[in-house]
Each structure stands twice: as structure tokens, then as C-alpha cells.
């Protein structure tokens, strides 16, 4: 049976050319003239492979990476661009972060043989690759690696827009399979949710993050870290004691630990207890509402829960450059944060235009690949030193 392929490109010439190339290879091809149109198609149709341009108005290729990661099937993704190798490298890093099945990255102009050979190579190796991934993340292997060296934290820097100083970093999970290398967080989060281990995964990430903070502190570096917390943990009455215990164990100041809770948790889970969040807040830990704008949390709940930071969903950042409505929502979210006495953080800052836009709108903190990618602890410390020394300069920041 022929593979179904979706081509996404806002250029009519490029879209038609890629379609012709693929049809000549006996593939079933559909086309979308924008990321937004592709999103509509993906709501009703399934494709084996998506071939997309990186630079498009509204929802671009970077945004589509996130969209693909949230699908309930696992299509392959081929990214194309006419820009430099750095853009493709950033796209590859982002795809890994979202655990997307990235099949290849191609620079324009693209010839027929290169495109078809990429798909042919995928067809011959895809089954083995997926089988290997499933073996690596089998439940027994997952639990064994979770408590040994399978789970690896990486750190993405955050910058304070008012001062230009490092505001801290967000901690992300990576998985180290027995064969080496690192896998993105998607697969490990997926199995944790399916098997009911989200509380264990959260605890382990908190432990690894604070352990690293303790090591940095002994080396003279005090760095605030943000860690994503599952609503499963917040339903446990002793969770505040667990977090406090870890901070004491690794000699970490609670003010340098921020717990991020997704807004969607408030929508789907009414049992998230105010008592636990309030206790965590009273002990000095920071609380951030993540992905604001996706879960429709009530404003009354924002008033009652002691958050001190609101993180605007990256989708609005990506779309706000070209979408008037998205820009209004972004501006309103930042304004609402300030009126509630919260810091406004904007994730998904992928280029200088994103940075200048949120800076103009009054955001307090920024994070994204334009600032820095998720890094190992050693790479992160080098980045921090280079940034402080002025070796690393971020376009649009000054």
C-alpha cells in the first residue's frame, strides 16, 4: 500500500514541485498551503509522512513539530528550508526535544532523487528503528533506568528581559538508552502516563534537578531551576514535605526552585488541591502556571492559587507575528499577568523577531532556541560563563 504524504509549503511553485516528485515515486500525496491548513487536515486525516517548509506565515515548521508531537499516531517528518544549516540544526534539536520521528532535513533547492532516496532509506530502516525504541522503553527497562542513569536532565536558559541577566533554566527530561545517545522526553512521558508512573517520574526529575543545583552551589553557581510537576503529585498530601526534603538533602534554597504546573491540569482534573500548592508556596518555592491559554483555567482559580509566574503558551508566540488575533491574546496574557502581580514568561522564542515582539509587549522573562537550546549540565555552565563574559550575544536582547 502506498504511503500517504502531506506536503506543506506556502510557495505554490515549491509545493507543486514536491508533489510531482512524490507522485512520480508512487506515493499518495496531499498538499497544504500553510501550517494552519495542515493543522485542519491533520484533525481528520492520517498521513505516514509530513514534508514541511520551516518558514511559513502563521503556523510555521517549528510550530508543526509541536503539533506532530501531540498527534495520537507517529508520522515521519521531513523538514525543508532555504536558510542556513543553523536553522536546520535548531529544527533537529527541537524535533528531538518533542520526540518527533524526524526522517530527514533537506536544504532548498531540492532535487527529486534526494527527496525520494530519503523516503526509500526510511522505508528500509523504519521498522527496525521503531522496534528498538519500543524495547528501550519497555516498562521493566523504563523502571530500571529511571532509578539508575536512564533519566538525564538537560537545562534550557531563561533570560530576564529587564536586566538581561540569567533568570535561571528549565529542566527537561532526556532518556539514555543502553546503546548510547539521548532520546527526547516524549517517549518517556508517554510510558509514564500509560503505566501510571507520572508521580515517580516527577519525583526523580526533582531529585536530579536539585542534586545538580547542590553541585553547582558548591562550585559557586547558584542557579534557579524550573521543573514540571504532574497533577498526580499534587493530589498527594505529603508532596510539599517531599519537595522540602529534597531541598534540605541537597542544600538548595527553596526560592531557587520553581514548580511548573500546566494549565490543562486544572481543566481536566478538578482535584488538584489548593492545600498542597499553598503549603509549597509558604515554604518558599516558586509556582508557575505553564502553557497559559491552552486549558481555559478560570480567572477565579488564578486568584486563589498562589502562582507567582505565568508562562504563555508557545503557540501564541509563533503565530503572533502574522496573526492579529494571536497577538491580541499574547498581549492580553502579558497584561493579565502583571495585573495579577505575576511575572510573564514567554517560551518558544525561536528568532530575533519573536524576542523583539514580546519585549515590546512587556514580557519579563524569555526562553527558547534563540536564547539557548536545552543543554547538559556541563554545556549549560559553559553557556552561562560565555554569556556573562559577553562571548555569547543574543540578537535583539540589547
Question: What three-state secondary structure class fits 77?
Answer: strand
Contact indicator for 107, 54 with CB cutoff of 8 Å: no
Give residue-wise pLDDT tens across range 348-373: 898 899 999 999 999 999 999 899 98
Distance between CA 356 and CA 80 in Å, rounded? Answer: 26
Provide the residue count of the chain. Answer: 398
Calculate the dihedral angle through the C-alpha atoms of 14, 318, 151, 123, rounding to the nearest 10 degrees. Answer: -20
Distance (Å) of CA 206 to CA 6, 244, 298:
40, 11, 28
Distance (Å) of CA 296 to CA 229, 259, 269, 302:
19, 20, 12, 11
* Pick from 28, 39, 34: nearest CA to 15: 34
pLDDT(130) > 50: no
3-state SS of 185-251 is HHHHHHHHHHHCCHHHHHHHHHHHHHHHHHHHHHCCCCCCEEEECCHHHHCCCCHHHHHHHHHHHCC
Distance between CA 340 and CA 93 in Å, rounded? Answer: 35
Give residue-wise pLDDT tens across range 251-260: 999 999 999 9
Distance (Å) of CA 54 to CA 57, 86, 194, 391:
10, 12, 32, 28
pLDDT(188) > 50: yes
Rounded percentage of the chain residues whose pLDDT exceeds 70: 87
Higher local confidence (pLDDT), 175 or 85:
175
Which domains occur in the chain, in start order? 4-131 (3.40.50.2300), 137-388 (3.20.20.450)
Distance between CA 74 and CA 57 in Å, rounded? Answer: 25
Band (81; pLDDT cuts 50, 70, 90): confident
Contact indicator for 330, 344 with CB cutoff of 8 Å: no
* Pick from 204, 208, 267, 277: nearest CA to 237: 277
pLDDT(137) > 80: no
Distance (Å) of CA 394 to CA 1, 144, 366:
48, 40, 12
Distance between CA 111 and CA 107 in Å, rounded? Answer: 10
What is the Rg, in whole angstroms, of the alpha carbon atoms belonging to the chain? Answer: 21
Question: Scanning the structure block, which residue is given the C-alpha cell 495585573?
Answer: 339
Give residue-wise pLDDT tens across range 299-326: 666 677 789 999 987 777 877 877 788 8
Mean pLDDT of the chain: 84
Amino acid at each position: 500500500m502506498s504511503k500517504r504524504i502531506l506536503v506543506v509549503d506556502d510557495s505554490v511553485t515549491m509545493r507543486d514541485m514536491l508533489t510531482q516528485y512524490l507522485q512520480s515515486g508512487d506515493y499518495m500525496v496531499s498538499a497544504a498551503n500553510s501550517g494552519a491548513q495542515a493543522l485542519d487536515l491533520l484533525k481528520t486525516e492520517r498521513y505516514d509522512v509530513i514534508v514541511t517548509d520551516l518558514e511559513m506565515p502563521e503556523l510555521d515548521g517549528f510550530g508543526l513539530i509541536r503539533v506532530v508531537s501531540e498527534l495520537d499516531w507517529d508520522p515521519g517528518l521531513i523538514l525543508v528550508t532555504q536558510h542556513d544549516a543553523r536553522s536546520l540544526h535548531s529544527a533537529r534539536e527541537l524535533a528531538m526535544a518533542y520526540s518527533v520521528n524526524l526522517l530527514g532535513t533537506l536544504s532548498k533547492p531540492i532535487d527529486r532523487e534526494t527527496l525520494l532516496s530519503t523516503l526509500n532509506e526510511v522505508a528500509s530502516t523504519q521498522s527496525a528503528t521503531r522496534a528498538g525504541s519500543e524495547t528501550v522503553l519497555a516498562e521493566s527497562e523504563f523502571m530500571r533506568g529511571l532509578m539508575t542513569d536512564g533519566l538525564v536532565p538537560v537545562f534550557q536558559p531563561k533570560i530576564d528581559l529587564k536586566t538581561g541577566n540569567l533568570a535561571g533554566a528549565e529542566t527537561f527530561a532526556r532518556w539514555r538508552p543502553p546503546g548510547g545517545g539521548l532520546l527526547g522526553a516524549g517517549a518517556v512521558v508517554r510510558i509514564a502516563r500509560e503505566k501510571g508512573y507520572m508521580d515517580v517520574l516527577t519525583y526523580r526529575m526533582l531529585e536530579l534537578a536539585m542534586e545538580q543545583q547542590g553541585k553547582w552551589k558548591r562550585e559557586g553557581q547558584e542557579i534557579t531551576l524550573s521543573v514540571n510537576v504532574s497533577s498526580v503529585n499534587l493530589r498527594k498530601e505529603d508532596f510539599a514535605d517531599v519537595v522540602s526534603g529534597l531541598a534540605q538533602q541537597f542544600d538548595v534554597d527553596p526560592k531557587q526552585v520553581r514548580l511548573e504546573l500546566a494549565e490543562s491540569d486544572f481543566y481536566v482534573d478538578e482535584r488538584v488541591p489548593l492545600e498542597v500548592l499553598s503549603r509549597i508556596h509558604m515554604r518558599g518555592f516558586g509556582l508557575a502556571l505553564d502553557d497559559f491559554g491552552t486549558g481555559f483555567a478560570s480567572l477565579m482559580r488564578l486568584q486563589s492559587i498562589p502562582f507567582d509566574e505565568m508562562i504563555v503558551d508557545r503557540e501564541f508566540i509563533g503565530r503572533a507575528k502574522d496573526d492579529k488575533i494571536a497577538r491580541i491574546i499574547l498581549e492580553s496574557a502579558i497584561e493579565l499577568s502583571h495585573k495579577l502581580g505575576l511575572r510573564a514568561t514567554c517560551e518558544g522564542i525561536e528568532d530575533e523577531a519573536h524576542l523583539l515582539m514580546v519585549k515590546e509587549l512587556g514580557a519579563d522573562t524569555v526562553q527558547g532556541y534563540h536564547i539557548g537550546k536545552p543543554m547538559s549540565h556541563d554545556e549549560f555552565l559553559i553557556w552561562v560563563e560565555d554569556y556573562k563574559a559577553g562571548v555569547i550575544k543574543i540578537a535583539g536582547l540589547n
